[in-house]
Amino acid sequence: MRASRLFMPTLKEDPSDAEAASHKLLVRGGFVRQFASGIYIFLPLGWRVIERVNRIIREEMDAIGALELSMPTIHTADVWQQTGRYYDIGGEMFRLKDRSGRDMVLAMTHEEVFTWLASRELRSYRELPQIWYQIQLKFRDETRPKGGVLRVREFLMKDSYSFDADAEGLEVSYAKHIQAYDRIFERTGLRFHRVDSDPGMMGGAQAHEYMAPSPAGEDRVAVCSSCGYAGNIELARSVARAPEGSVSEVLEEVPTPGQRTIRQVSEFLELPASSLIKSLLVVTGEERVLALVRGDQELHQRKLERHLQREVRPAHPEEVEEATGAEIGFIGPLGVDVRIVADESLAPTGPGGARAYVTGANKAHTHLLGVMLGRDVDPEYADLREAQEGDSCVECGSALTVEPTIEVGNIFKLGTKYSVALGATVLDEDGVEIPLVMGSYGIGPARIAAAAVEQSHDEKGIVWPKSIAPFDVHLVQVHATDEEQTRVAAHLYEALGEEGWQVLWDDRDERPGVKFKDAELIGCPVRVTVGRRAAEGVVEVEPRGGDQSRREVSVDELPEVVSELWRLAD
């Protein structure tokens, strides 16, 4: 591709509304433009990146026997009503009516329609397994689009669905997806973790997420570098550190005027936060539940919900006073008539052993010293706390790290929820009608691109992984009007193209500095510069990333040098 013919609107300055590195660079580099909040245009360069990602996805999906097809993005409401999601999902779903007043929705995902198709077309266990996929638009009216292309309202997703006769079959389809996904993310050049993830409130089924570490990420994962255990913070288990300090085992009220937060109480009583217990009242339906975690830990609401099997919300201040007789900041587990759930690290069998802590006294401006769980109050125990950096791995005992990540893919064992709701059944070998056992698997190509930029850029611009760069080689002709340079550049453009490289030939009549800056911003893996020594048959070549420096080579040996640099790249 000649740059003079390419629509490649680069910018010198960061767009004012961009925060994330990938957002700034993808806009500046002429890859994307924002159309509205959370709705993006992919320009030629950006689309080339997406297409390269998609190609990798297709190759690996095809390799596990998945079949590509294309589903509608405008759905009738009825299938969504049959699975109940029409009612369960709130404002996140775009809803509309057709001209005759029929309720329609824009596709947020495609379980319903894939299952609808399966219900019509699959009849026998002999036709199984089936894995169908598409690379198709999804629409979600996010409450808060952010991070450029990272969290948007309309986006491309590769989604696949597996249909099996039984749980064993699902295991196989799921394992195939793990294989394909591992390959896909390796090939895109991302650093990533496959982590245990929350299968949702329905419970039971298994799920994993593919997470690319990045400060721009919205999810956090706990990772053990030693044994490879990795889990989304929403469910990651860990062994808490032992609490510090000690508290007399004699129950004693102490006045703590105005000391409401853990930090205030900790400083006031001169005790470490891990010697305190944080008491949090939540409401679930009509029930009140008091959750206890150690002062140096955080309650994870999803974990509590999973334990209670219900959604919860923090109690309002009036509800706290009604249930405990005290204000927020002074409540505790003793003498309250509600269900009490404590984090397992507080159990007498936990890392602190049977020991005393400080809690609120359920009395204004008063705390209680010497509270022992098991002796003074007997709560149920569950894993309620967020895994923290410095906790130990439950598998091997090594230290866990916690890092922010971008979710680039996920895989779910759905079971029969959708097949039962939509009547997707086949006959088994005994002629008995059985519901299909399904899995659902997603990948966000644009998130892969954005995560790659997040993970691989410098102050000059993007450093694309070689597999998804918009072009392999950026051929910079320093002077567009120099005939010798044009001759050499044209020759190289052709020669490299014949060897299969995707080449961007910058033949624009721009000043050299402009071309160099653009080349660095756009970030193709190898740059070839045709400049002052072109007449002698000498050009320069250098990789965009890595520590290889610029070198001069003869035109004849250039293709070989490009291949060499390519092998060293990433």
Partner RNA sequence: CGGGACGUGGCGCAGCCUGGUAGCGCAUCUGCUUUGGGAGCAGAGGGUCGGAGGUUCGAAUCCUCUCGUCCCGACCA
Q: Which two tokens stand for residue 137?
A: 């638009």
Is residue 218 within the footprint of RNA (CB under 7 A)? yes
Options 5-13, 165-173, 374-382, 420-428: segment touching RNA (CB under 7 A): 5-13
533 binds RNA (CB under 7 A): yes
User: Could you say which residues in the range 124-153 bind RNA, by CB under 7 A?
Assistant: 140, 142-147, 151
191 in contact with RNA (CB under 7 A):
no
Q: Which of 513, 547, 549, 567 binds RNA (CB under 7 A)?
A: 513
Cα–Cα distance, 426 to 505 (Å, whole number): 56
Stretch that binds RNA, among 88-96, 121-129, 183-191, 351-359 (CB under 7 A): 88-96
- Please, what is the minimum distance in Å from the beta carbon of residue 540 to RNA? 5
Q: Which of 115, 134, 419, 440 binds RNA (CB under 7 A)?
A: 440
CB of 285 to RNA, least distance (A): 16
Residues 449-468, one symbol each (x = binds RNA by CB under 7 A, - = not), give: -----------x--------
Q: Which CB, 85 or 288, lies closer to RNA?
A: 85
Alpha carbon dihedral 202, 206, 212, 216, in 10-degree steps, equals 20
Check binding of 512 to RNA (CB under 7 A).
yes
Segment lying near RNA (by CB under 7 A), choices 264-272, 273-281, 335-343, 528-536? 528-536
477 binds RNA (CB under 7 A): no
Structure tokens at 176: 């195939």
User: Which region among 128-136, 224-232, 333-341, 509-517 touches RNA (by CB under 7 A)?
Assistant: 509-517
**Cα–Cα nearest to 405, from 228, 237, 222, 145:** 222
Backbone angles phi and psi of 294, in degrees to 5 = -65, 155
Please give the structure tokens belonging to residue 247. 């508290």
- In the complex, minimum distance from the CB of residue 440 to RNA, in angstroms, rounded to a whole number: 6
Q: Which of 520, 526, 541, 545 binds RNA (CB under 7 A)?
A: 520
Map 32-101 to HEC letters.
Answer: EEEEECCEEEECHHHHHHHHHHHHHHHHHHHHCCCEECCCCCEEEHHHHHHHCHHHHCCCCCCEEECCCC
Q: By C-beta, is 123 or 316 nearer to RNA? A: 316
DSSP annotation string for 21-35: HHHHHHHHTTSEEEE
One character per residue 303-342, x = contact with RNA (rule: CB under 7 A): ----------------------------------------
Q: Is 10 in the site for RNA (CB under 7 A)?
A: yes
Site of tokens 């089936």 = 130
Question: Does position 17 bind RNA by CB under 7 A?
Answer: yes
Q: Is 334 within 8 Å of 368 (Cβ atoms)?
A: yes
Count Cβ neighbours within 10 Å for each residue of 471-485 and write b for 16 or more, e otherwise. Answer: bbbbbbbbbbebeeb
Does position 288 interact with RNA (CB under 7 A)? The reply is: no
Return d(Cα 448, Cα 189) in angstroms, integer: 10
Q: Residue 231: how many CA atoms within 13 Å on its side-chain side? A: 21
Question: Is 77 one of the binding residues for RNA (CB under 7 A)?
Answer: no
Query: Quick check: 34 binds RNA (CB under 7 A)?
Result: yes
Q: Give the C-alpha separation, 244 to 233, whole Å.
A: 24
88: contact with RNA by CB under 7 A: yes
Kindly state the number of chain residues that form the binding site for RNA, as judged by CB under 7 A.
56
CA distance 119 to 53: 31
Rule CB under 7 A: is residue 535 a binding residue for RNA?
no
Question: What is the DSSP secondary structure assignment for residue 309, as one 8-state letter?
Answer: T
For RNA, the closer of residues 17 and 59 by Cβ is 17
95 part of the interface to RNA, by CB under 7 A: no
Residue 49 exposure: Cα atoms within 13 Å on the Cβ side: 31
Query: Binding to RNA by residue 7, rule CB under 7 A?
Result: no
Q: Please say whether the beta carbons of 311 and 201 come within 8 A.
A: yes
* Backbone phi and psi for residue 206, each to the nearest 5 degrees, phi listed first: -100, 155
Q: Which is nearer to RNA, 159 or 296 (CB)?
A: 159
Least distance in Å: CB of 470 to RNA? 16
Q: Which pairs from 322-325 meet CB under 8 Å and 24+ separation? A: 323/281, 323/288, 323/290, 324/281, 324/362, 325/362, 325/363
Under the binding rule (CB under 7 A), the answer on residue 374 touching RNA is no
CB-nearer residue toward RNA: 20 or 369? 20
Report the residue number, 49 or 541, with the smaller CB distance to RNA: 541
Q: Which two tokens stand for residue 419?
A: 């097949």
Q: Which residue number, 224 or 507, has a Cβ lying nearer to RNA?
A: 507
- When asked if residue 162 is in the footprint of RNA (CB under 7 A), the reply is no
| Least distance from RNA to the Cβ atom of residue 374, Å | 31
CB of residue 101 vs RNA: minimum separation in angstroms?
Answer: 25
Task: Kindly write out the interface string for residues 392-421 of this chain, putting x where it contacts RNA by CB under 7 A and - elsewhere.
Answer: ------------------x-x---------
Nearest approach, Cβ of residue 187 and RNA (Å): 22
Please identify which residue in the block is written with the tokens 């397992």: 344
The tokens describing 527, both together, are 């740059």
b/e 8-30 (16+ beta carbons within 10 angstroms → b)? bebeeeeeeebebbbbbbbbbbb
Residues at the interface with RNA (CB under 7 A):
10-17, 19-20, 23, 28, 34, 36-38, 85, 88-89, 92, 108-109, 140, 142-147, 151, 200-201, 218, 301, 410, 412, 440, 442, 460, 478-479, 481, 511-514, 516-518, 520-521, 529, 531-533, 540
